Structure 1
Amino acid sequence: MFDTREETSWNSDEGTPQFITISLEEPQKVAAFSFQFQGGFSGQKSELIMYSADGAQVHQEPFYPEDINSPQLFQIAESVRENPCSKLKFVFESSTDLFGRIIVYDLQLFG
């Protein structure tokens, strides 16, 4: 998912919600993120939750991926971009797959 190789991926179990949590080594400012899903196994109604170094939730916002194979870029609210975070959690409340499975080929964070 992070190695930029097309033949590797992350896949979830069945059911909803599914989530991916990223813990950063040092707090960083994150302005955007991108996902590349496998078509037919995309997240639908989704949410980003950001946490500070002390573990407090500092931001929460929805995002809505399309059911496509291409990378999709999502901008984070401008009011939050300047605040460093230490952890991000991507929650997929629903999936385009009948069984709730999600497959991610690439996930990138942008500062």
Structure 2
Amino acid sequence: MHTITKKKEKQSNMSELQNIFQNKQFKCSVSSVLNKDVKQYGKPFMFDGLEDTAWYSDQGLPQSINIVFNEPLESLNLSLCQLKIKFQGGFVGNVMTVSLDDINSQNIYKKSFYPDDINDLQTFTLDANTNGKSLGNVRKLSIVFEKSSDFFGRIIIYSLELMT
């Protein structure tokens, strides 16, 4: 696993959603990297904020991204929580399952989403009929891409954000 650390930024307005990957430390692992070329296509490129870098998976399904937070998220309000992903059109995980696990590795949330095969930033709200429910002690976020718009099962992601 590779540790990715972002500096804590000042929160200018508490009413605005913040990208949790910018102010929390976490470890990210992915199922594969194209030709094992992590310097050109590795997982850190999903979080670097640059428009011309991306994580490229190798071929085959399923593909996955696993994020383990160094410290558990104490309270995650699912009605406000959004997963934002920018795919490369033609290489979209068009069936994906998002899961959250607690500090005891117990699954506490699971929902499937169906991204469009487009290049634009897509937003997925993790509400799942929670009626404002908050989850405590979230330790792990998993995203599994069960299908791809690419015939060979490749996925390309330019940016990944978890807004809370």
Q: Please indicate the TM-score interval, normalised by the length of the shorter structure.
A: over 0.9
Question: Deviations for 1:51-87, whole angstroms, at most 9, x for unmatched residues?
Answer: 0012111111001110111100000025275103111
Pick closer, same or farther for the CA change 1:48–1:16 going to 2, 3 Å.
Answer: same
1:75 maps to 2:75: no
Identity across the alignment (%): 40
Gaps of 5+ in 1: none
Higher strand share: 1
Q: Distance in 2 between matches of 1:50 and 1:12?
A: 22
Q: Distance in 2 between matches of 1:81 and 1:61?
A: 15
How many corresponding residue pairs? 111
1:51 maps to 2:101: yes
Pick closer, same or farther for the CA change 1:103–1:86 going to 2, 3 Å.
Answer: same
1:86 maps to 2:131: no
Tell me the TM-score normalised to structure 1 length: 0.93
Q: CA deviation at 1:110?
A: 1.1
In the other structure, the counterpart of 1:12 is 57
Q: Distance in 2 between matches of 1:10 and 1:26?
A: 25
Gaps of 5+ in 2: 1-45
Higher helix share: 2
Q: Give the SS at the match of 1:93.
A: strand
In the other structure, the counterpart of 1:96 is 149
Q: Distance in 2 between matches of 1:69 and 1:50?
A: 26
In the other structure, the counterpart of 2:13 is none
In the other structure, the counterpart of 1:27 is 72
RMSD of the TM alignment (CA)? 1.4
Q: Distance in 1 between matches of 2:93 and 2:63?
A: 9
Pick closer, same or farther for the CA change 1:81–1:7 going to 2, 3 Å.
Answer: farther
Pick closer, same or farther for the CA change 1:100–1:81 going to 2, 3 Å.
Answer: farther
